[in-house]
Chains A and B, each alone.
Chain A
Amino acid sequence: MDYLYYPGCSIKESGIAYEESLTAIMDVLNSSLRELEDWNCCGATTCISVESDEAIALASRNLALAEKQSNNKGTVDLVTPCNACYLTLMRATHYLSERRNIADKVLPALDKQGLHCDNRVRIRHPLDVLVNDVGVKTISDHVRRKLTGLKVACYYGCQMVRPYATFDDPNRPTSMDQVMKALGAQPIDWSLKTKCCGAALGSLLPDTGEQLCHDILKEAQKKGADVVVTGCPLCHFNLETNQSAIRKRHSDFKTIPVAYFSQLMGLAFELPPKTLGIQRLFIPLPSSLMAGAGKGGEYVTA
Chain B
Amino acid sequence: MLQRNDFSKNGDIRIGVYVCDCGTNIAGNVRVPEVVEYARTLPHVVVSKEYKYMCSDPGQDMIRREIKEQRLNRLLIAACSPHVHEETFRNVAAQAGLNPFLFQMVNIRELVSWVTEDPDKATSKAKDMIRAAANRVLFHEELEPLKYHIKPNVVIVGGGIAGIHAALLLADSGEHVYLVEREPSIGGHMAMFDKTFPTLDCAACILTPKMTMVKSHPNITILSYSDVVEVSGFVGDFKVKVRKKPRYVDEENCVGCFECIDACVFKDARYPNEFDFGLGKRKPIYIPFPQAVPPVPVIDADTCIEFKTGKCPKDCLKACGERAGIDFDQKEEILDLEVGSIIVATGFDSFDPKKMPQYGYGIYPNVYTSLETERLFNASGPTAGELVLRDGSKPKSVGIIHCVGSRDENHNPWCSRVCCMYSMKLAHLVKERTNADVFNFYIDIRAAGKGYEEFYNRTMEEGVQYIRGKVAEVTDNAQTKEEEGKLIIRVEDTLLGMIRRIPVDMVILSVGLEPQHDAQEVTKMFNISCSGGGWFMERHPKLAPVSTMSGGVFLAGACQAPKDIPDTVAQAGAAASEALALSHKGVIEVEPNTAFIDETLCSGCQVCVGLCPYSAISYDQEKKISVLNQALCQGCGVCAGACPSGAAQQHLFNDNQLMAEIEGALAGVL
List the interface of chain A (C-beta within 8 A of B). Answer: 169, 171-172, 189-192, 215, 219
B477 pairs with A215, CB closer than 8 A: yes
Chain A residue with Cβ nearest B358: A171
**Closest beta carbon of chain A to B639's beta carbon, Å:** 46
**Closest beta carbon of chain B to A298's beta carbon, Å:** 31
Interface string of B346-365 (1 = CB under 8 A from A): 00000000001110100100
| B residues near A219, Cβ cutoff 8 Å | 477
A172 pairs with B479, CB closer than 8 A: no
| A residues near B473, Cβ cutoff 8 Å | 171, 191
| B residues near A191, Cβ cutoff 8 Å | 360, 473, 475-477
Near A by CB (< 8 A), chain B positions 57-79 give none
Measured in the bound complex, the distance between the Cα atoms of B356 and A215 in whole Å is: 23
**Closest beta carbon of chain B to A224's beta carbon, Å:** 13
Near A by CB (< 8 A), chain B positions 471-491 give 473, 475-477, 479
**Closest beta carbon of chain B to A172's beta carbon, Å:** 4
B477 pairs with A172, CB closer than 8 A: no
A190 pairs with B357, CB closer than 8 A: no
| A residues near B363, Cβ cutoff 8 Å | 172, 189
Measured in the bound complex, the distance between the Cα atoms of B355 and A169 in whole Å is: 9
Closest 8 CB pairs of A and B: A172-B357, A171-B358, A191-B475, A219-B477, A171-B357, A191-B477, A192-B477, A169-B357
Measured in the bound complex, the distance between the Cα atoms of B364 and A172 in whole Å is: 13
Name, among A189, A191, A192, A215, the residue most crowded by chain B CB atoms within 10 Å (CB to CB). Answer: A191
What are 20 A-B contacts defined by CB distance under 8 Å?
A169-B357, A171-B356, A171-B357, A171-B358, A171-B473, A172-B357, A172-B358, A172-B363, A189-B363, A190-B477, A191-B360, A191-B473, A191-B475, A191-B476, A191-B477, A192-B475, A192-B477, A215-B477, A215-B479, A219-B477
Measured in the bound complex, the distance between the Cα atoms of B475 and A171 in whole Å is: 11
| B residues near A189, Cβ cutoff 8 Å | 363
| A residues near B358, Cβ cutoff 8 Å | 171-172
| B residues near A169, Cβ cutoff 8 Å | 357
A172-B363, A189-B363, A219-B477 given; 17 more Cβ-contact pairs under 8 Å: A169-B357, A171-B356, A171-B357, A171-B358, A171-B473, A172-B357, A172-B358, A190-B477, A191-B360, A191-B473, A191-B475, A191-B476, A191-B477, A192-B475, A192-B477, A215-B477, A215-B479
Chain A residue with Cβ nearest B410: A170
Measured in the bound complex, the distance between the Cα atoms of B358 and A171 in whole Å is: 6
List the interface of chain B (C-beta within 8 A of A). Answer: 356-358, 360, 363, 473, 475-477, 479
**Closest beta carbon of chain B to A256's beta carbon, Å:** 16
Name, among A172, A189, A190, the residue most crowded by chain B CB atoms within 10 Å (CB to CB). Answer: A172
**Closest beta carbon of chain B to A162's beta carbon, Å:** 11
| A residues near B475, Cβ cutoff 8 Å | 191-192
| B residues near A171, Cβ cutoff 8 Å | 356-358, 473
| A residues near B477, Cβ cutoff 8 Å | 190-192, 215, 219
| B residues near A190, Cβ cutoff 8 Å | 477
| A residues near B360, Cβ cutoff 8 Å | 191
Chain A residue with Cβ nearest B476: A191
Chain A residue with Cβ nearest B475: A191
Chain A residue with Cβ nearest B360: A191
Measured in the bound complex, the distance between the Cα atoms of B364 and A189 in whole Å is: 11
Measured in the bound complex, the distance between the Cα atoms of B357 and A172 in whole Å is: 6
Measured in the bound complex, the distance between the Cα atoms of B50 and A56 in whole Å is: 57
Measured in the bound complex, the distance between the Cα atoms of B479 and A215 in whole Å is: 8
**Closest beta carbon of chain A to B61's beta carbon, Å:** 54
**Closest beta carbon of chain B to A279's beta carbon, Å:** 33
Measured in the bound complex, the distance between the Cα atoms of B632 and A179 in whole Å is: 62
Measured in the bound complex, the distance between the Cα atoms of B360 and A219 in whole Å is: 17
| B residues near A192, Cβ cutoff 8 Å | 475, 477
Measured in the bound complex, the distance between the Cα atoms of B31 and A161 in whole Å is: 55
**Closest beta carbon of chain B to A18's beta carbon, Å:** 27
**Closest beta carbon of chain B to A207's beta carbon, Å:** 16
| A residues near B356, Cβ cutoff 8 Å | 171
Measured in the bound complex, the distance between the Cα atoms of B363 and A191 in whole Å is: 10
Chain B residue with Cβ nearest A173: B357
Measured in the bound complex, the distance between the Cα atoms of B473 and A104 in whole Å is: 39
**Closest beta carbon of chain B to A157's beta carbon, Å:** 16
Measured in the bound complex, the distance between the Cα atoms of B363 and A192 in whole Å is: 14
Measured in the bound complex, the distance between the Cα atoms of B363 and A171 in whole Å is: 13
Measured in the bound complex, the distance between the Cα atoms of B333 and A277 in whole Å is: 70
Measured in the bound complex, the distance between the Cα atoms of B490 and A171 in whole Å is: 14
Chain B residue with Cβ nearest A190: B477
Chain B residue with Cβ nearest A189: B363
Name, among B358, B360, B477, the residue most crowded by chain A CB atoms within 10 Å (CB to CB). Answer: B477
Measured in the bound complex, the distance between the Cα atoms of B357 and A189 in whole Å is: 13
**Closest beta carbon of chain A to B363's beta carbon, Å:** 7
| B residues near A215, Cβ cutoff 8 Å | 477, 479
Chain B residue with Cβ nearest A171: B358
| B residues near A172, Cβ cutoff 8 Å | 357-358, 363
**Closest beta carbon of chain A to B472's beta carbon, Å:** 9
**Closest beta carbon of chain B to A55's beta carbon, Å:** 26
Measured in the bound complex, the distance between the Cα atoms of B360 and A172 in whole Å is: 9
**Closest beta carbon of chain A to B263's beta carbon, Å:** 43
Chain A residue with Cβ nearest B357: A172
**Closest beta carbon of chain A to B501's beta carbon, Å:** 12
Measured in the bound complex, the distance between the Cα atoms of B356 and A171 in whole Å is: 8
Measured in the bound complex, the distance between the Cα atoms of B358 and A215 in whole Å is: 18
Chain B residue with Cβ nearest A216: B477
Measured in the bound complex, the distance between the Cα atoms of B357 and A215 in whole Å is: 21
| A residues near B479, Cβ cutoff 8 Å | 215
Measured in the bound complex, the distance between the Cα atoms of B475 and A191 in whole Å is: 6
Measured in the bound complex, the distance between the Cα atoms of B363 and A189 in whole Å is: 9
Chain B residue with Cβ nearest A191: B475
Measured in the bound complex, the distance between the Cα atoms of B473 and A215 in whole Å is: 16
Measured in the bound complex, the distance between the Cα atoms of B476 and A172 in whole Å is: 14
**Closest beta carbon of chain B to A292's beta carbon, Å:** 35
**Closest beta carbon of chain B to A191's beta carbon, Å:** 4
| A residues near B476, Cβ cutoff 8 Å | 191
Chain B residue with Cβ nearest A165: B410
**Closest beta carbon of chain B to A182's beta carbon, Å:** 21
**Closest beta carbon of chain A to B633's beta carbon, Å:** 50
**Closest beta carbon of chain B to A57's beta carbon, Å:** 30
Measured in the bound complex, the distance between the Cα atoms of B474 and A191 in whole Å is: 9
Chain B residue with Cβ nearest A211: B479
**Closest beta carbon of chain B to A144's beta carbon, Å:** 33
**Closest beta carbon of chain A to B465's beta carbon, Å:** 24
**Closest beta carbon of chain B to A287's beta carbon, Å:** 29
**Closest beta carbon of chain A to B503's beta carbon, Å:** 14
Chain B residue with Cβ nearest A169: B357
**Closest beta carbon of chain A to B148's beta carbon, Å:** 54
Chain A residue with Cβ nearest B355: A169
Name, among B356, B357, B360, the residue most crowded by chain A CB atoms within 10 Å (CB to CB). Answer: B357
Measured in the bound complex, the distance between the Cα atoms of B488 and A215 in whole Å is: 14
**Closest beta carbon of chain B to A299's beta carbon, Å:** 29
Measured in the bound complex, the distance between the Cα atoms of B356 and A169 in whole Å is: 9
Measured in the bound complex, the distance between the Cα atoms of B356 and A189 in whole Å is: 16
Chain A residue with Cβ nearest B474: A191
Measured in the bound complex, the distance between the Cα atoms of B356 and A190 in whole Å is: 16
**Closest beta carbon of chain B to A30's beta carbon, Å:** 34
**Closest beta carbon of chain A to B558's beta carbon, Å:** 29
Measured in the bound complex, the distance between the Cα atoms of B473 and A190 in whole Å is: 13
Chain A residue with Cβ nearest B490: A191
Chain A residue with Cβ nearest B359: A171
**Closest beta carbon of chain A to B486's beta carbon, Å:** 13
**Closest beta carbon of chain B to A5's beta carbon, Å:** 31
Measured in the bound complex, the distance between the Cα atoms of B360 and A215 in whole Å is: 19
Measured in the bound complex, the distance between the Cα atoms of B357 and A169 in whole Å is: 8
**Closest beta carbon of chain A to B490's beta carbon, Å:** 10
**Closest beta carbon of chain B to A32's beta carbon, Å:** 35
Measured in the bound complex, the distance between the Cα atoms of B358 and A192 in whole Å is: 11
**Closest beta carbon of chain A to B481's beta carbon, Å:** 13
Measured in the bound complex, the distance between the Cα atoms of B358 and A191 in whole Å is: 8
**Closest beta carbon of chain B to A95's beta carbon, Å:** 20
Measured in the bound complex, the distance between the Cα atoms of B357 and A171 in whole Å is: 7
**Closest beta carbon of chain A to B84's beta carbon, Å:** 39
Measured in the bound complex, the distance between the Cα atoms of B360 and A190 in whole Å is: 11
